[in-house]
Amino acid sequence: DQQVKQNSPSLSVQEGRISILNCDYTNSMFDYFLWYKKYPAEGPTFLISISSIKDKNEDGRFTVFLNKSAKHLSLHIVPSQPGDSAVYFCAASYTNAGKSTFGDGTTLTVKP
Amino acid sequence: KAGVTQTPRYLIKTRGQQVTLSCSPISGHRSVSWYQQTPGQGLQFLFEYFSETQRNKGNFPGRFSGRQFSNSRSEMNVSTLELGDSALYLCASSKKTGANTEAFFGQGTRLTVV
């Protein structure tokens, strides 16, 4: 039972446009969500997070939106840059879970 | 501040052998988690150690084991290697245990079982 799903394995956008990466979860206990970015031959790096008490968190070009009723979150990147090309992982956790549960990742390609 | 260091970066082993991977967390971080990533798959949680104690364990067979030392460095061992164990093994450290906190990942150890 996959509790965190990223249904789009890949996404391609033009430089300067908006990238929207989606993530769905099934476990109602999740109350903390994170996005990580991974370049080839490197480990994932933390990008942005959001607590379930919020519905939006913004950090520069990156904004994460959380819709608890739909059990859905999304990462918006505006404007997209070629350097944003990477695999993006969504992760979810809850207090006392002891771990984050990751989705399978979405490969973002930003074309110049 | 040094990041998470994993050694070795690459490893080739034969079926049936055993392997030990090492992870040095960021200074001051007491939690170390291990993940397995296979092609097309997300990060599958193996286990987490905090203050030398295993706090959480994923759904992996007993062939996968780990430990943490007093300096927070951690090792992961896989015995009786199978072809399906070929994967990228990632270690992540964080200041506090487990959940609701960002993790800092190492570059991973690419294990190939032939």
pLDDT of residue B1: 62
Residues of chain A neighbouring B97 (CB-CB closer than 8 A): 98
User: How many A/B residue pairs have CB atoms within 8 Å?
Assistant: 70
Reported as a single tens digit per residue, the pLDDT across A28-64 is: 999 999 999 999 888 999 999 999 999 999 999 999 9
Tokens of A65: 């939106």
- Residue whose C-alpha is closest to residue A46's, from A57, A33, A27, A56: A33
Chain A nearest-CA distance from B58, in A, is 9
Q: Please indicate if any CB of chain A lies within 8 Å of the CB of B45.
A: yes
Whole-angstrom Cα distance, residue B91 to residue B104? 8
pLDDT in tens, B46-79: 999 999 999 889 999 999 999 999 999 999 999 9
A23 touches chain B (CB under 8 A): no
State the burial class of residue B40 (Cβ atoms within 10 Å of its Cβ: 0-12, 13-18, 19+): exposed
Cβ distance B99 to A104 less than 8 Å, yes or no, reads: no
- Predicted pLDDT at A26: 96
For residue B98, the model assigns a pLDDT of: 60
User: Which residue among A4, A89, A98 sits closest to B99, beta carbon to beta carbon?
Assistant: A98
Average pLDDT of span A12-38: 96
Provide the pLDDT for residue B99.
67
Q: Do A46 and B104 touch (CB under 8 A)?
A: yes
Task: Compute the distance between CA of residue B27 and CA of residue B50 in angstroms, rounded to an integer.
Answer: 14
Nearest to B18 by CA among B82, B72, B68, B61: B82
Distance CA A29, CA A26 (A): 9
pLDDT digits (tens, 9 = 90+) for B80-95: 999 999 999 999 999 8
Residues of B in contact with A32 (CB under 8 A): 99-100
Residue A88 C-alpha from the chain's centroid = 6
pLDDT (tens digit per residue) in A82-105: 999 999 999 999 877 778 899 999
Alpha-carbon torsion angle B77, B82, B85, B86, nearest 10 = 120
pLDDT given for residue A99 in this prediction: 81
The answer to whether A93 contacts B58, with C-beta atoms less than 8 Å apart, is no
Asked if A99's CB is within 8 angstroms of B98's CB, the reply is yes
Span B101-107, average pLDDT: 91
CB B76 within 8 A of CB B65: yes
Instruction: Name which of A27, A30, A99, A102 to mutate to probe chain B: the one with the most chain B Cβ atoms within 10 A of its Cβ.
Output: A99
Of all residues in chain B, the percent with pLDDT exceeding 90 is: 82
What pLDDT does residue B96 have? 78
CB B101 within 8 A of CB B95: yes
